[in-house]
Structure 1
Amino acid sequence: GILCKVNSVMIPGVNDQHLVEVNRAVKSRGAFLHNIMPLISAPEHGTVFGLTGQRGPTAQELKALQDSCEGEMNMMRHCRQCRADAVGLLGEDRSEEFTTDKIMAMEVNYDLEGRKAYQAVVEQERVAKVEAKKEEVATLKNIASDIKILAAVATKGSGLINEHFGHAKEFQIYELSTSGAKFVGHRRVDLYCQGGFGDEDSLETVIRAINDCHAVFVAKIGGCPKSDLIKAGIEPVDEFAHEFIEKSAIAWFKAYLEKVESGEIAHTIRGDAEIRQGAFSSEHA
């Protein structure tokens, strides 16, 4: 009766092909979720793979493997490889303060009514997002196209495009097709805005991280990064600020297909993108 998630680390040339078989095996044994994550192989981490020059996968290699396993079982797409087991500040481990015995002895003030009220708000937001997406997907019903593209989204959460480009530390990635908008992962990036000024070196790393995307949806973006993104072939989209992600992405994609159909633009295949090395961390682990 316990839900089980299986973690696998993708190592190109070692287990990338075999993980498809692993995926089938863990599903047959009742696993609920499979998380295939990229190898962290930067030499500075001192691991065997890092010291022997074994590379990690690219963004498209990871996505292709996850896509090939998706039909077998639920795939976890939102893993940030974070220190989810850590307690306290980095360098100040507080795990001994929260042992099982100590937690069991704690008095917990459980606010049931407050929790129910919060759940009601979350459910209301969820229904609104689902309905908005459903309405927009319906507009694609009679459009025949095999085109699939990726789009990056700057968001603080709540399913909204509500983050300034320069303030984003990561982007959510969606695959857009005539089936709708499908979340396929995260891309962590260096912060572009530093003390009110844009960091051009950081912008280069952002572009490399979302290089396989045709567009990036933001709440706001400055003139300089907008120009550089366009030069890199990535369209900055700020017209859907503070609107639902999936509804907005589908609306933009429909317009994209119409431009391709009319000959206004030519559909191109984007290149690959980099996955930033290292586990996700912040001031607090």
Structure 2
Amino acid sequence: MTDPVEGPLPELARLRRRVAELEAEAAALRSSEAELRAMFSAMTDAVLIVDPDGRYLRLPETAPGARYKPAPDFLGKTMHDVLPRDLADAFVADIRRALAERRIVNSVYSRTIAGEELWFSANASPLGANSVLAVVREITDQVRHEQALRDNLRQQELLREHEAALLQLSTPLIPIRDDVLVMPLIGRLDASRLELAQGTLLRGVAAARAKVAILDLTGIGELDDAAALGLLSVARAVRLLGARVVVTGVRPEVAAALVSRAAELTGITVRASLKDAVREATSDERHSQ
């Protein structure tokens, strides 16, 4: 007996199935291509496909709006033909690194175009064994914003340094004699100034082993309750180091703030003027007691 010869109908069925499979694959490819075209048409970035030598192989069309894109006549040329040498060298090195390491390589660079410095971010991604997909996005606004932010932070830092210098100048410590120090206070006394005044005065008294510390309030126009409390705290801290505290130049407005804390003025000498306080502090008779 012999095997029956397969007729044409099964073969035709197989061909039809194969045709259906090919049509489905073609439809999927068309759909994928349509998606890619839609994606590219929505992008304002420059997209290019290049080989390891930086030769432009394809320039997929993307949406208009970018201030710079490779010109169509770049096709077939290398980056060294159309870009500054140092920039072309850097691009080709990134392309070859992306291919060698099979990863995305990013770079940020600037170019002067039509007299304006523009900044770009470029991602080089391996596309095949010998080609790379590069997406170039302009980031000029972002770079300028970041630079403005850095400038602003630097300005704030300079202002803080300036403020600190002014605070230091506004709380000078003047030695009248080895054992007599004067600190004239000027302007508004807030918490930061009081803290600085106390630190400066305590360090000065300790270093000089001063016997008398004179706080001159002539330059203080007004004193609120918190500042009055802080000022008395400074005086008490100085007394703990063994120095006598003399307060001078108290205006009526300041006196009104201090009078409510009269009990805390115990042990603090008050004199009408700095001249009186210095004369008293430097008199031999006073220091001999």
Instruction: Return the TM-score normalized by structure 2.
Output: 0.24
* Higher-Rg member (1/2): 2
Structure number with the higher helix fraction is 2
Which has the bigger relative contact order, CA under 8 A and spacing at least 6?
1
